[in-house]
Amino acid sequence: MRSRREIDYPEAPSFSTEARTDGATPLATRTHNSNSNPQLRVGGLTKFTTIDFPGKLAAVVYCRGCSLRCHYCHNPELQTPRSQPGDLSWKAVLDFLESRKGRLEGVAFCGGEPLVQKALPDAMRDVRAMGLEVALHTSGMNPVRFAEILPLVDWVGFDIKTKFEDYQRVTQVRGSGAKARESFELLLESGIAYETRTTCDPDLIPPSTLIVMAGELRDMGVKTFRLQESSARMRNYDASTENEIATMFPDFEIRRNPLSVRKAA
């Protein structure tokens, strides 16, 4: 998932409200439950990506709000749940997606933490109604809402911060590990395609802890695991630690940050 520095903030697109030849109401004139349900608060939009939804040409919607305060947060500006000047309306996002019909295959909901927003399930239904597939990037901090949206999702990128019992050390939020475990178990039971990933931080997650965590994920049945080098902390693991973890998963990858520094062995 990309950092906020790479997010596009386009002007709301304009569309003709003339009648369509197929008889359907133009999307620009439709209402999207605006009178009865909250609308998704959107902090940014990437118009096109081949990275955030594996195998799909997708747009990325950056949802506002996050209950965690991870030390290495990539997008701290999105932590506030309140809309900010320059944010996009959900209708503007839908209008943009309508204009890209036939070119985009899906939409990835990122954050922040998308699960904090009550409007997420309806937003995903809007996207699916347009014939697009749905991806979710999440830490699983709301298991009840996660269970609700799983039937609407085609792929999940699940952030594993550290060993579940050590989460507070990374997130600064008590009880976050229990919520993450509950959501992750729901994901494993669902059969939905997913990847797990952990952000490198040898100070918060020592190599020994990382190796134990990776072993626990392997024992839970995880096949796909990514190590993400941090753009905030700038220190990573030594080659021996990376190599040991690589032996645990059939599908393993390190997402390198060219500016970060590898920890000496």
DSSP letters, 14-72, are: ----SPPTTSPPPGGG---STTTSPPPPEEEEEEEESSSSTTS-EEEEEE---S---TT
Tell me what pLDDT residue 32 has.
42
The Cα 227–Cα 91 span in angstroms is 35
265 and 207 share one domain: yes
Domain boundary (197, 223, 251) is at 197
Tell me what pLDDT residue 234 has.
56
Tell me what pLDDT residue 16 has.
27
107 and 228 share one domain: no
Domain boundary (179, 197, 215) is at 197
Answer yes or no: is 28 within a domain. no
177 and 225 share one domain: no
For residue 118, give every residue at least 6 positions away whose Cβ sits within 8 Å of its Cβ, in sequence order, or none: 37, 38, 145
107 neighbors 58 (Cβ within 8 angstroms):
yes
Answer yes or no: is 250 within a domain. yes
79 and 114 share one domain: yes
147 and 123 share one domain: yes
173 and 52 share one domain: yes
2: CATH: 3.20.20.70
Range of the domain at 222: 200-265
Domain boundary (167, 197, 227) is at 197
124 and 176 share one domain: yes
Count of domains forming the chain: 2
pLDDT one digit per residue (tens) for the chain, 265 residues: 444 334 443 333 322 222 222 222 223 323 344 445 789 999 999 999 999 999 999 999 999 999 889 887 877 787 877 888 888 999 999 999 999 999 999 999 998 899 999 999 999 999 999 999 999 999 999 999 999 999 999 999 999 999 999 999 999 999 999 999 999 999 999 999 999 999 988 889 999 999 999 999 999 999 999 998 876 655 678 899 999 999 999 999 998 875 544 444 3
Provide the whole-model pTM: 0.83
The Cα 200–Cα 205 span in angstroms is 8
For residue 92, give every residue at least 6 positions away whose Cβ sits within 8 Å of its Cβ, in sequence order, or none: 12, 13
Answer yes or no: is 151 within a domain. yes
Answer yes or no: is 39 within a domain. yes
Tell me what pLDDT residue 36 has.
56
187 and 213 share one domain: no
